[in-house]
Amino acid sequence: MTDRRRGWAAVGAVLLALGLTACGRESGGGAAGTAQGPVTVLAGSELRDVEPQLLKAAADAGVPVKLSYAGTLDIVERVNAGEAVDMILPPSGAYPSLALATPPRAREKLFYSRVVLGVRSDKARALGWDRRAPAWTDIARAAGAGRLHFAMTNPTSSNTGMSALFAVASAVAGKTEDLSEKEVNGTVLKAFLAGQTLTAGSSGWLAEAYARDPSALDAMINYEAVILRTNASLADKDRLVIIHPRDGVITADYPLMLLNERRRDAYTRLVAAFKSVAVQQNLAASAFLRPALPDVPLAAGVSPEPVVELTFPNRLEVIDAVLQAAQAQWRRPATSIFVLDVSDSMAGARLDAMRQALLTLVEAKGLAASQRYAGFQPRERVIMIPFSDKVFPPTQVDFGQETLDDGRRQLRTFVNALHIAGGTAIYAALIRADELADAELRQSPDRTVSIVLLTDGINNSGPGYYEFMRHRGADAVRVFPILFGEASVDQMESLASATRGRTFDGRHTALASIFKDIRAYQ
């Protein structure tokens, strides 16, 4: 087995497995799961919206369930690494079936949602898509020409982004299955990804970000159900018209997959509960999911028209090659700015953890696909700004297609040279980062620019939050603060909200894992 294939098998249901985890041993009679604790279910972010319905259905069936959420690669990698998971509920069963080291013991599709394009009505009219649905090549052409700017999750970390990428690849190749690497048209995929001006590692966060500022984008690629739920919170002028490209879509089929045979009775009860008429009607009406039961009616707004069904490639090598090319060659070039606290309170284990997290991105080693995809990529510019009570000169590294090793050496030297000194001037450092970000956007408007802030304390030197906010320019970029140490949760969440970013909690999770998650948003 090649290293690449072995890496994917070790990764597990990489970009398709947004699962639910279930644990709980059946105790003859009574609630299934009480003997060994509740059934734990790990779910994709878009299922947060239906958590109350799922938990109630499970409780009515006598199966205690504990829900938690993670990204696609992480779900499968955690299962393949040996984490105790009883069941998963990925949005699609295709990839997990290929990539899980141990095949699931059973699987049952619970409900469906197509991955579609939602377009503002004025843009749909301007492009003529209100009269005739476009093909994926039409969408790619509009994106490549700068006439379509859309939000989409990162294909290397979320099922919706990956589904859209492979829908384009398959449709352009004229294949509904068995796509090969040589049939992938990189020129069309690069044009398509040129229109992706907002990325994320989560379908749920992507929809929330779109809803906060809908006028900034023309469209969003997401689950049909998520788009319809998002529309409910928008003004009429900002609502998205759902478009099913005429050459096909990939549909999420949400199979509940049994991994732990000892939980089969709980699994059987959950399948029966989730596929009951009452639950299917509830999910269809309240969450716009397509029911698995044919007699349950669709919700208003869910199209009853049939579509061409496209599929994921059935070989891991093809998936890996396409996703690697998407990261390194086709996506918009990125500038990633890291603002790093090296104040006195970071001494010792905290500085070591930050160094290790940064080196994980620098080296991008290991067989796990998520590690390779999260590493710094060709055509990416990385700027490091350390700060204490003063802001140190930034270190900039440009990763070229032929100079990856040189870039890695430069950053390795920088990381190993980090040292502790002084107090905490958070906002002075952010002002410097924002100046550099503005310069990047003026010089290269097509770049994706973001700022990551890691601090373990509270600002005690230099300008404050309001000075920073007054400084920000019209082309302000998103800031992604990491909660760490004694950093103010309120301040960091306010900062993320005001800059249209999001916080990441590094207080109870390894920083290397947090940095990897952030990369899906850069």
CATH architecture assigned to 113-251: 3-Layer(aba) Sandwich (3.40)
How do the domains of the chain map onto residue ranges?
3-109+255-288, 113-251, 333-521
Q: Which amino acid is at 192?
A: F
256 neighbors 107 (Cβ within 8 angstroms) = yes
Tokens describing residue 476: 């302000």
Q: What is the DSSP string of 45-104?
A: GGGGGGHHHHHHHHHHTT--EEEEE--HHHHHHHHHTT---SEE--S-SHHHHHH-SS--
Short-list 316, 292, 268, 302, CA closest to 94: 316
Long-range contacts (CB closer than 8 Å, 24 or more residues apart) made by 491-500: 491/458, 491/459, 491/465, 492/453, 494/465, 495/453, 495/465, 498/469, 499/451, 499/472, 500/209, 500/212, 500/213
pLDDT at 225: 97
Short-list 239, 422, 424, 456, CA closest to 349: 456
Short-list 159, 155, 158, 139, CA closest to 244: 139
Q: One fold for both 113-251 and 333-521?
A: no
Q: What is the DSSP string of 207-236?
A: HHHHHHSGGG-SEEEEEHHHHHHHHTTS-G
Answer CATH for 333-521 from 3.40.50.410, 3.40.30.10, 3.40.50.261, 3.20.20.70 = 3.40.50.410
- Cα 467 to Cα 191, 342, 347, 426: the distances in Å are 39, 22, 28, 11
List, in sequence order, every beta strand (DSSP E) within 278-431: 290-291, 334-341, 380-387, 395-399
pTM: 0.90
Long-range contacts (CB closer than 8 Å, 24 or more residues apart) made by 94-98: 94/16, 94/311, 94/312, 94/314, 95/13, 95/14, 95/15, 95/16, 95/17, 95/312, 95/319, 96/12, 96/13, 96/16, 96/17, 96/19, 96/257, 98/8, 98/13, 98/314, 98/315, 98/316, 98/319
Helix, strand or coil, per DSSP, at residue 340: strand
List, in sequence order, every beta strand (DSSP E) within 253-354: 255-258, 290-291, 334-341
Torsion angle, alpha carbons of 9, 10, 14, 17, to 10: 90
- The residues pairing with 482 across neighbouring beta strands, listed in sequence order, are 454, 504
Q: Tokens 């301040």 map to which residue?
A: 491
Q: Tokens 């409910």 map to which residue?
A: 232
Short-list 503, 143, 519, 144, CA closest to 334: 519
Rounded Cα distance between 520 and 469, Å, is 25
Per-residue pLDDT of the chain (522 residues; tens, 9 = 90+): 444 444 444 334 333 333 333 333 333 334 555 557 899 888 877 888 899 999 999 999 999 999 888 777 778 888 898 888 899 998 988 888 888 899 999 999 999 999 999 999 999 999 999 999 999 999 999 999 999 999 999 999 899 999 999 999 999 999 888 899 999 999 999 999 999 999 999 999 999 999 999 999 999 999 999 999 999 999 999 999 999 999 999 999 999 999 999 999 999 999 999 999 999 999 999 999 999 999 999 999 999 999 999 998 999 899 999 999 999 999 999 999 999 999 999 999 999 999 999 999 998 766 678 788 899 999 999 999 999 999 999 999 999 877 788 999 999 999 999 999 899 999 999 999 999 999 999 999 999 999 999 999 899 999 999 999 998 876 679 999 999 999 999 999 999 999 999 999 999 889 998 999 999 999
